[in-house]
Structure 1
Amino acid sequence: MRTAPRLHTMLSLEQAVGGAPSLALLQERIRTSQHCLQLVRPLIPPALRQHVKAGPIQDNEWCILVASAAASTKLRQLLPAMQQVLIQNGAQVNAIRIKVQIAAR
């Protein structure tokens, strides 16, 4: 039995995400996390900024990914100021978690 030929249509990532509600929700969470990082970035010492990445945000808890335990320690000192900046800018973040992300070799 022969099936009708399929048309192979190329979709942009935006189009694919727009057609899948679960992907759209994931994309929104990624944008929110990146926005949070942009809000607190001025508080992070310049030498440390390259070692900090926006991590997942879930249930109003935002995770910051860092490259080392030393970076984690320094960021923990900044958590109260970061939380204040997020609140002042209307971010719906009740807690910030810092996770050391070990680079793959």
Structure 2
Amino acid sequence: MALMITDECINCDVCEPECPNQAISLGKEIYEIDPARCTECVGHFNEPQCVQVCPVSCIPIHPEHVESQETLWAKYRRLQQTATAAAPPASA
């Protein structure tokens, strides 16, 4: 399942830096979550960090992007592989 930010968002800026997958960004009016990058923090934390810090509770499960735990783990692994491949080589 990916999460979504509803129009109750007050643009407080606390969710974006908490996302370990860089899935949250400022949209036209409110913050948005990219469902292709959202793993609900699977692989990083036990609970979605954006939900934990949101002061207005405006981050529910996105009804159009329901995913199983296995799918979320697969997405996490894919994102990690992409990040590793894109990282510059370590200097000696």
Provide TM-score, normalisation by structure 2: 0.28
The structure number with the bigger radius of gyration is 1
Structure with greater contact order relative to length (CA < 8 Å, sep ≥ 6): 2
**Structure showing the higher strand proportion among its residues:** 1
TM-score of the two chains, using structure 1 as the length reference: 0.26
